């Protein structure tokens, strides 16, 4: 793999894109392109086409998306559907039209049916209803997966989709209105600790099970996909192990040093009962995660402490 390949990382300032950018540099890839949303509006088809025509990237990694947790998905269904469709469609089509050699589309485990057998296998896609609380985002991501599959099938191009499980790590979104469960818990326990160890109220029963992958491990999977030609169009990226939300809360509480009580609000939705990924296909090709959950949470909390004035605040 030539280290001077021209690689465009869409969404390079987000949690995933920043991790991919760091991993590419660490691997010796130096010809990287990144544009902020002010420099390039990915929702604007004409602007994206012009960018591809001018820059002619050889590899595109799509880490750009409108993201958020259950609350954000519930409250803003239209932008979660439409903006994600616009972003990915513009990138995929421009890459196809401009003869990009390799396109890596990053999605989410929420593409799979709510009650699919566990662990989730790639072939379970489109076999049942989605989780209603995040179906808008999921439908957009499914469309991206199928678009890449269609280009691969019709034109034989190396377009591949990676579906990570729940991600966390540096540059995550810690805004309590729009964040995912793990960063939201870090902030809640931290603020409760500062406020004389007051009790922490958490959504749901604590019983659902979730799998968590450090974003640097996902970045290594992306690098693996850049350096190798993968034989299929869709791969799960996860750890193969999960914990209950209650266990996650207890790990974070211990890491933060919070001494108060955890109170569960069972009137709030739990979401999918369990969501564990089967990453056997990618494991068999040579990729494996390496960051253990408690260690990953510890390093993420340290990052949070050092960046409280700068962490992402999503405004809707």
- 34: buried, middle or exposed (CB in 10 Å: 19+, 13-18, 0-12)? middle
Residue set of the binding site: 11-17, 106-109, 141, 164-167, 180, 188, 203, 210, 270
How many separate helices (H) and strands (E) can be counted in the chain? 10, 13
Handedness of CA 51, 154, 82, 117 (dihedral sign): negative
Q: Catalytic one among 8, 112, 137, 168?
A: 137
Q: Where are the beta strands (DSSP E) in the chain?
A: 7-10, 32-33, 59-62, 102-106, 158-164, 166-168, 200-203, 209-210, 212-214, 234-237, 243-244, 262-265, 274-275
Backbone φ and ψ of 281, nearest 5°? -65, -45
Q: What distance in Å separates the CA atoms of residue 138 and residue 108, rounded to the nearest whole number?
A: 7
Backbone φ and ψ of 14, nearest 5°? -80, 175
User: Is 137 one of the annotated active-site residues of the chain?
Assistant: yes
User: Which residue in 126, 130, 127 sits closest to 114, CA to CA?
Assistant: 130
Residue set of the binding site for NADP(+): 11-17, 106-109, 141, 164-167, 180
Q: Residue holding tokens 């299929």?
A: 232
User: Which residue in 96, 102, 57 sits closest to 225, CA to CA?
Assistant: 102
Of the chain, the end-to-end C-alpha distance in Å amounts to 41
Residue set of the binding site for substrate: 188, 203, 210, 270
Q: What distance in Å separates the CA atoms of residue 160 and residue 165, rounded to the nearest whole number?
A: 17
Catalytic residue positions?
137
């Amino acid at each position: 793999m030539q280290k001077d390949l021209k690689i465009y990382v869409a969404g390079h300032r987000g949690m995933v894109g920043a991790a991919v950018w760091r991993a590419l540099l660490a691997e010796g890839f130096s010809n990287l392109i990144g544009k902020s949303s002010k420099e390039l509006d990915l929702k604007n088809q004409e602007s994206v086409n012009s960018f591809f025509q001018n820059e002619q990237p050889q590899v595109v990694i799509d880490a750009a998306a409108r993201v958020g947790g259950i609350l954000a998905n519930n409250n803003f269904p239209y932008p979660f559907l439409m903006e994600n469709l616009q972003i990915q469609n513009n990138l995929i089509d421009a890459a196809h039209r401009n003869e990009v050699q390799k396109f890596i589309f990053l999605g989410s485990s929420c593409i799979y049916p709510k009650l699919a057998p566990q662990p989730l296998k790639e072939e379970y896609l489109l076999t049942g209803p989605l989780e209603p609380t995040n179906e808008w985002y999921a439908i957009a991501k499914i469309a991206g997966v199928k678009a890449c599959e269609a280009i691969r099938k019709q034109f034989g191009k190396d377009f591949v989709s990676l579906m990570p499980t729940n991600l966390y790590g540096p540059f995550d979104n810690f805004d309590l209105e729009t964040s995912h469960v793990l960063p939201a818990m870090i902030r809640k326990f931290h603020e409760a600790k500062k406020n004389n160890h007051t009790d922490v109220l958490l959504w749901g029963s604590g019983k659902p099970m979730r799998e968590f992958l450090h974003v640097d491990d996902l970045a290594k999977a992306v690098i693996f996909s850049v350096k190798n030609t993968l034989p299929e169009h869709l791969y799960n990226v996860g750890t193969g192990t999960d914990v209950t939300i209650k266990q996650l809360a207890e790990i974070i509480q211990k890491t933060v040093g919070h001494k108060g009580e955890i109170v569960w609000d069972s009137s709030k939705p739990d979401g999918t009962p369990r969501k564990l990924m089967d990453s056997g296909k990618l494991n068999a090709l040579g990729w494996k995660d390496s960051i253990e959950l408690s260690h990953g949470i510890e390093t993420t909390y340290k990052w949070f402490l050092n960046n409280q004035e700068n962490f992402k605040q999503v405004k809707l």
